[in-house]
Amino acid sequence: MTLVKGEGSRLWDDQGNMYLDFMSGIAVTNLGHAPERVKTRVQQQLDTLWHVSNLFRIPQQEQAAELLAANTCADAVFFCNSGAEANEAAIKLARRYHAKVAQTGRSEIITFEQSFHGRTLATLTATGQDKVKDGFAPLPAGFRYVPFNDIAALKAAVNENTAAIMLEIVQGEGGVLPIKASFAAEVAQLCAANGILLIVDEVQTGMGRTGALFAHEHYGLKPDIFTAAKGLGSGFPVGAMLAQEHLREAFGPGSHGSTFGGNPLAMSAVLGTLETMLEDKAAVRAAEKGTYLLNALRVKLSDVSAVKDIRGIGLLIGIECHEPVSNMIADAQRAGLLFISAGPNVIRLLPNLLVTEEDMDEAVDIIHTVLAKRSAAVTTIS
pLDDT at residue 302 tops 60 = yes
Mean pLDDT for the chain? Answer: 96
Q: Average of pLDDT values for 340-350?
A: 97
Helix (H) / strand (E) element for 30: namely: none
pLDDT at residue 375 tops 80 = no
Q: Average of pLDDT values for 47-60?
A: 95
306 assigned ligand-binding residue: no
Other Cβ atoms less than 10 A from the Cβ of 169: the count is 28
pLDDT at residue 67 tops 90 = yes
Quote the percentage of the chain above a pLDDT of 70. Answer: 98
On the 0-12 / 13-18 / 19+ scale of CB atoms within 10 A, 221 is: buried
258 assigned ligand-binding residue: yes
84 assigned ligand-binding residue: yes
List of residues 6+ apart from 14 with CB closer than 8 A: 2, 3, 4
pLDDT of residue 246: 97
pLDDT of residue 379: 52
pLDDT of residue 56: 94
pLDDT band at 344 (very low <50, low <70, confident <90, very high): very high
Per-residue pLDDT tens over the stretch 113-167: 999 999 999 999 999 999 999 999 999 999 999 999 999 999 999 999 999 999 9
204 assigned ligand-binding residue: yes
Strands 76-80 and 316-321: unpaired
116 assigned ligand-binding residue: yes
Can you tell me the distance from the alpha carbon of 372 to that of 349, in angstroms, rounded to the nearest whole number? 18
Is the omega angle on the peptide bond into residue 223 within 30 degrees of 0, that is, cis? no
DSSP 37-84: HHHHHHHHHHTT-----TTS--HHHHHHHHHHHHTSS-SEEEEESSHH
Name the pTM for this structure: 0.96
pLDDT band at 374 (very low <50, low <70, confident <90, very high): confident
Residues 23 and 235 sit within 8 Å (Cβ to Cβ): no
Per-residue pLDDT tens over the stretch 172-205: 999 999 999 999 999 999 999 999 999 999 999 9
Per-residue pLDDT tens over the stretch 69-117: 999 999 999 999 999 999 999 999 999 999 999 999 999 999 999 999 9
pLDDT at residue 382 tops 70 = no
Per-residue pLDDT tens over the stretch 311-322: 999 999 999 999
Amino acid found at 337:
L
85 assigned ligand-binding residue: no
pLDDT of residue 40: 97
Q: Average of pLDDT values for 270-292?
A: 97
On the 0-12 / 13-18 / 19+ scale of CB atoms within 10 A, 185 is: middle
pLDDT at residue 378 tops 80 = no
Residues 301 and 317 sit within 8 Å (Cβ to Cβ): no
